[in-house]
Amino acid sequence: MKKQFSIYQRQFLAWTTALILGLILALPNAFAEKSKKPVLPKSYESKAAPAEITDTDRMFIDLREAAKKNDVFRTQQLSSNLANYPFDDYVAYFRIKPQLFDSAGVPRGDYSADSQVVAFLNQYQGTALADRMRNDWLLVLGKRKDWARFDVEYAKFVLDDDTQVKCYSLLSKLSQGENPTKLAIDSRAVLLDPSYFGQACQELVPALVAAGGMMPNEARAIGRAASEKGYDTMARRLGGEDPIADVVKAAKADPAKAYRDFSQNASRYSKENQAVAYGVIGQFLAKKLDPNADDAYRLQQELGYNDLISVESQEWKVRAGLRAKDWVLVKNAIDGMNPAVRNKDPAWTYWYGRALKAEGQDTKARESYELIADQYNFYGQLAREELGKSNHAPARTKVSEQEIDAMASRKGFIRAERLYAMNLRFEGNREWNWELRNMTDKQLLAAAEYAKRINLYDRVVNTADRTKQEHDFSLRYPTPYREELSPIARQIDLNLAWAYGLIRQESRFIMNASSSVGASGLMQVMPNTAKYVAKRIGMTNYTNDKLSDTNTNLTLGSNYLNMVLIDLDGSWVLASAAYNAGPSRSKVWREKLTGPTEGAIFAETIPFNETRTYVKNVLSNANYYSSVMNGQYQSLKQRLGVITPKAATQSELP
């Protein structure tokens, strides 16, 4: 092991030396900070990305793409030509991994690659990639029911973030005679989102039923959750035939009609099936912002069986109550939630406090707020406001130059920088984040400051966000490109803190960021939107290739943000939602209000998961940016405001 590590060190020494000799350059424009760029010590300059990607690098990137497709022949062919490549562990991983999975990503379950996997884990033990390889192998071991070896390897799995692996772990325990009732209880914290169930969880549920640990109606409830998301085949595998399968199908297609029809025929069903049917119908009514969602959920609440409605239905039950200002339903809904869901999201702790307050239980409400008052997120801010506590950015913890310098020699950061230079962000993030494990708050701040000095602003934010007791909010909420953005915002009277809050959420300051739908740059502007805005503001000779220019991207994005703000009567909530989902949707959501609604409730009841999270994060960010930049903190409740109903009009804005 010692000999192998020495070889590894020499490879990186050779690579770093090559960088020092020929590559004393700034990182590519994707990470360039033009405003207040620090003078870097030479130790940082040596980590600058190479100006060009070599042919060998391109071969490595091709290997990675072939491995993603689990193309065994191609990965064998390419890896044989990369014997001396510095990332020898990735070359080995990309060669072995396709032997574990078929082209559809399903574990093969055979033994052909076992010896290679064991050799890899021994050679690279303790690394991020070894943990990834162990994750892959655990899926194979679970499929073949090799529980003895599975248990040994699972105990070494550091991240333990794979739902399928967790289901296999429960199957292993079941096969060894552990109490099936206890295992069924444990499974409730695992079987939350059918999107991640795979084969393992589809085996676990019927096995628990067969062992007597889980009741058939519980299995049907899990299957119904899959059906709600469109996984009908999976639903049948999990829980068999569902007596209300037709109701689920009807609710997804037209919830208003499903509600009317079921209300007329409910007596044909058992009390249990009535309850779960109203839960499903309530969910899809709530997603349509239909006021009848509150009625459907109240009928479900009266019938009971809260534990048999899906996680999705449980969450939308709260939202339906919020939209209707039905605080009794809000409280009952949160009381009936799966504890793993309730305790994970601070939203439910905050709204539970609000429901208690509405009942006049002020002391208990404060106790609820206190549970999340130390969190610096959207609901943590709202909770502190309820408690009358300060929401200013906390005192800044400073780190020394020596502490920052120490980060430059961290192997994981060196590897991450090289991967980022090849635009392999997924792998780069894996290496960077693995290096952060077990760091103290001060070490995390030193790492964040180091990332800032080499212009990796997404890593600045990600790293500084992890601190628990000691903080530096100038790193959590950095302001690169300020010399470019400030005059643009000033010219159109756009709130600079809000603009930064949006950019932080959109791109994490990665200039070459691009989305799956074609948005690009710091402000993730869509090409058609860019053309429209350019025409509106008189930007002549605009072409979409100019979106990659920092100033152009900021100009177009800021102007569009200002346009939607004006179009939506100055509401930052509506405008933030419009920037993400489009002005027409934001107007429709507003139109469906039945009366004035506080901005926090409007934000929490946005039907799109992405937009809902986006709006909350942007406005939370904006408040902290205001504190960091100006020493001022506006009440988040005031910033959210009150949204009043207004007839939707077709917006000319894209």
CB count in 10 Å sphere of residue 63: 26
Query: 9-13, 295-299, 314-318, 561-565: lowest mean pLDDT where?
Result: 9-13
| Cβ–Cβ under 8 Å, residues 260 and 290 | no
| Amino acid sitting at position 434 | W
C-alpha closest to that of 289 among 238, 323, 326: 323
3-state secondary structure 187-236: HCCCCCCHHHCHHHHHHHHHHHHHCCCCCHHHHHHHHHHHHHCCCHHHHH
649 band by pLDDT with thresholds 50, 70 and 90: confident
Average pLDDT, the chain: 92
Residue 547: DSSP 8-state: G
- Model confidence at 244: pLDDT above 90: yes
Over residues 167-201, the pLDDT tens digits come to 999 999 999 999 999 999 999 999 999 999 999 99
CA distance 654 to 652: 6
- Model confidence at 31: pLDDT above 50: no
CA distance 309 to 411: 48
Over residues 469-517, the pLDDT tens digits come to 999 999 999 999 999 999 999 999 999 999 999 999 999 999 888 887 8
Residue 169: the pLDDT is 98
Residue 24: the pLDDT is 30
Cα 210 from chain centroid?
35
| Amino acid sitting at position 141 | L
Residue 109: the pLDDT is 87
CA distance 515 to 473: 27
Residue 648: the pLDDT is 67
Cα 262 from chain centroid?
36
As a whole number, mean pLDDT of residues 291-305 equals 98
Token output for 521: 């740059």
| Cβ–Cβ under 8 Å, residues 197 and 166 | no
Over residues 12-29, the pLDDT tens digits come to 343 443 333 333 323 333
Backbone torsions φ then ψ of 336, nearest 5 degrees: -90, 5
C-alpha closest to that of 223 among 245, 247, 207, 255: 245
As a whole number, mean pLDDT of residues 522-551 equals 95
C-alpha closest to that of 586 among 600, 559, 565: 565
CA distance 433 to 413: 9
- The topology under which CATH files domain 482-643 is Lysozyme (1.10.530)
- Model confidence at 212: pLDDT above 80: yes
**Does the pTM exceed 0.75?**
yes
Q: Helix or strand or coil: residue 471?
A: strand
Query: 3-7, 407-411, 429-433, 562-566: lowest mean pLDDT where?
Result: 3-7
Residue 41: the pLDDT is 40
**What are the start and end residues of each CATH 1.10.530.10 domain in the chain?**
482-643
| Cβ–Cβ under 8 Å, residues 612 and 603 | yes
- List the helix and strand counts (H, then E) for the chain: 38, 2
